[in-house]
Amino acid sequence: MSASSVTADGRARVLADGSQLPMLGLGVWQVPAGAACINAVRWALELGYRHIDTAQAYGNEESVGRALRDSGLPRDAVFITTKFFPSNRDPVAAAEQSLKRLDVDYIDLYLIHWPERGPTWAWPGMERALQRGSARAIGISNFGVGELEQVIAAGTVRPAVNQVEFNPVHYRRGLLDACLAQDVAVEAYSPLGTGRRLSDKTVRRVAERAGRTPAQVLLRWCLQHGLPVIPKSTHRDRIESNAQIFDFVLSAEDMTALDSLDKTKGTERALEHKWW
């Protein structure tokens, strides 16, 4: 990562095309459509989040759109990511459906959710969605180094982002280095390990030392590696405290202790097990 990849205030990752991806977003995987999702997104927007991460597979794009509308914020103040569900065949048609459900004119970032049936077949459709203006940026998710290289070789536009599971236990250093070398931003999903890393002994020790919550420590660890984070919560107090990660710094010693939790051996892979 070059020094200029994150804005001076530390709030956004600058993508290859110069656009900015906010370093903090709210993830809404496993948040049921309806009141739960509308409330979570509403609270996040009230509390200063300007980035929401949803997907066609999550079934809650309409609720995200509803909360966005209700917030009264201008469309261009909020960064919306959604993901192409690759069991479908046509990224362009699927993007149109997402735009309707979200009730917006464009998606800020449109990702292939996972490389089902191979890494390259959906990319031309993603590029068309970009050309048509349905998406402002396109990228991939759950792609390892080999898969990323195939997309780059086959396409005319490079993925702006690769969204992968990333936290101290899944410190995919090989994948991160390869993405950065190709000017592809890595975005950290499941930064709390879907909640499982919050009780880790080392994480708790660092949190005590820093006077912070385990969640804040895990999120801050990603920020200090230059990675945007999209923690999920349906609780207002947690959504609030998860945003308080820009006013402290983990020491080099704490970063090293957290780095050493990696169980992937610095892998170039995006996933340990496929789910498709």
Ligand X SMILES: NC(=O)c1ccc[n+]([C@@H]2O[C@H](COP(=O)([O-])OP(=O)(O)OC[C@H]3O[C@@H](n4cnc5c(N)ncnc54)[C@H](OP(=O)(O)O)[C@@H]3O)[C@@H](O)[C@H]2O)c1
- Could you list the residues that contact ligand X (CB under 6 A)? 27-30, 53, 113, 141-142, 163, 189-195, 198, 213, 215, 230-235, 238, 241-242
Assess contact for 86 and 115: CB atoms under 8 A.
yes
Distance CA(61)–CA(124), nearest Å, equals: 24
Rounded least distance, CB 31 to ligand X, Å: 7
Report the residue number whose CB is nearest to ligand X: 27
Nearer to ligand X, 145 or 156 (CB): 145
Nearer to ligand X, 131 or 199 (CB): 199
Rounded least distance, CB 191 to ligand X, Å: 5
Distance CA(162)–CA(146), nearest Å, equals: 13
Maximum separation of any 2 CA atoms in the chain, in Å: 50
The phi, psi pair for 17, rounded to 5°, reads -85, 5
| 106 in active site | no
Three-state DSSP class for residue 191: coil
- For 199, counting Cβ atoms within 10 Å of its Cβ (0-12 exposed, 13-18 middle, 19+ buried), the class is exposed
Rounded least distance, CB 169 to ligand X, Å: 11
Which of 49, 58, 110, 171 is flagged as catalytic?
A: 58
Nearer to ligand X, 24 or 28 (CB): 28
Pair of tokens at residue 187: 């975005």
Nearer to ligand X, 72 or 85 (CB): 85
Rounded least distance, CB 80 to ligand X, Å: 12
Per the rule left: phi > 0, alpha: psi between -120 and 50, beta: everything else, 211 is: left
Assess contact for 57 and 263: CB atoms under 8 A.
no
Q: Would you name the residues annotated as active-site residues?
A: 58
